[in-house]
Structure 1
Amino acid sequence: MSLRSPLGKVRGLGSAKNGTHHWWMQKVTAVALIPLTIWFVSSVVQMTQASYEVVINWMTSPIVTVLMTLFVATGIYHLKLGLQVVIEDYIHSESAKVVLQMTVSFCCIITATAAIFSILKIAL
């Protein structure tokens, strides 16, 4: 039994540190993904019957390369932010949080690097 009030217990948990920035970044990436996803899905639908050469020629366009890179980078960053919130909220062991956060960050960096490298290799 604790003699601390509920407010005292909450104050004892420490500050949220950069929670507002994290929240804003999650919202900004979500809004940025709306037009990028619409563009990506409509492009894929238009390319369903296209030959390999047509798709490669389409990918070499600078606008397509930039939009595809933005889509991948924004999507993976949004994924990282979302997984970070899930880990912080639902994993209670501090050591497990650290390991999972590092794993998520590493996997996101590797995935983004491989995807962007592939896009640039096709485009250049």
Structure 2
Amino acid sequence: MSSLRSPLGRARGWGSTGEGSHHWWVMRLSSVAMVPLMLWLMFSLAALAGADHATVTAWLAFPLNTALMILAVATLFFHANMGLQVIIEDYVHHAGLKFATLIAVKFALILLAVTGIVAIFRIAFGS
């Protein structure tokens, strides 16, 4: 089977954008990281079902839970950013609209991630 890629592109593993498999690997690594984090979150929330506010805030104030929750939020929004970037690049064909959409999505996801992490810190530190 013949390839449409250049010999240099085949040797480096790059696609047409020069990014190559880096984006693919980062998506897979963030997916792998999310599996234990989301399992931990689901089991933790199931264990906290029916708990009062004080119990949940005490649980989140525990340093390991605070760190894992921050990692879960950061990984989730990072993975969402990477996935939405691929979707926008594949389906938005107008260059200006593509650029504006990528920037808007990136800013929105950063704002949401920072808001979530600040909320976790405020709960964890009782302010």
Q: Percent identical across equivalent pairs?
A: 39
Give RMSD over aligned pairs. 1.7
TM-score (norm 1): 0.87
Task: Give the superposition deviation at 1:23.
Answer: 1.0
State how far apart, in whole Å, the 2-side matches of 1:109 and 1:120 are.
Answer: 16
**Over 3 Å off, 4+ runs:** none
- Structure ranking higher on relative contact order (CA contacts 8 Å, 6+ apart): 1
Task: Give the superposition deviation at 1:105.
Answer: 0.5
**Partner of 2:19 in structure 1?**
18
TM-score (norm 2): 0.85
Q: Deviations over 1:28-78 (max 9, x none)?
A: 000000000000011111111111100010000000000000000000000
Letter in 1 for 2:32: V
**Partner of 2:12 in structure 1?**
none
How many residues in Structure 1 have an aligned counterpart in Structure 2? Answer: 114
Q: How does 1:1-124 map to 2 (within 5 A)?
A: 7=4, 15-124=16-125
Letter in 2 for 1:93: H
State how far apart, in whole Å, the 2-side matches of 1:18 and 1:32 are.
Answer: 22
User: 5+ residue gaps in structure 1?
Assistant: 1-6
Letter in 2 for 1:94: A
